[in-house]
Structure 1
Amino acid sequence: MARPPRAAASLPQHRLSVVVLGLLLFRAAAKAQLSGDSYYDASCPAALLTIRTVVSAAVLLDPRMGASLLRLHFHDCFVQGCDASVLLDDTGNFTGEKGAGPNAGSLRGFEVVDNAKMLLETLCPQTVSCADILAVAARDAVVQSFYTRGPVMGGSAGEEGRDSPTASASLANSDLPSPSSTLATLLTAFSNKGLTTTDMVALSVDRQKTLLS
Structure 2
Amino acid sequence: MAYLTETFLPYAKMLIPLLLEGLWITIYVSAAAFVLSIVLGAVLAIIQHFKIRGLHQLTKVYVSYFRGTPLLIQLFLFYYGLPIIFEAMKGCPKHVALIVCLALNSAAYISESIRGAIDSVDQGQYEASLAFGMTHFQMMTRIILPQAAVAAIPPITNSCMDIIKMSSLGMTIGIQDIMGEAQLTAATYYKTFETYILAAAFYWILAVILGRVQKKIEKRISTAYQK
Q: Normalising by structure 2, what TM-score?
A: 0.29
Larger Rg: 2
Q: Normalising by structure 1, what TM-score?
A: 0.30
Higher helix share: 2
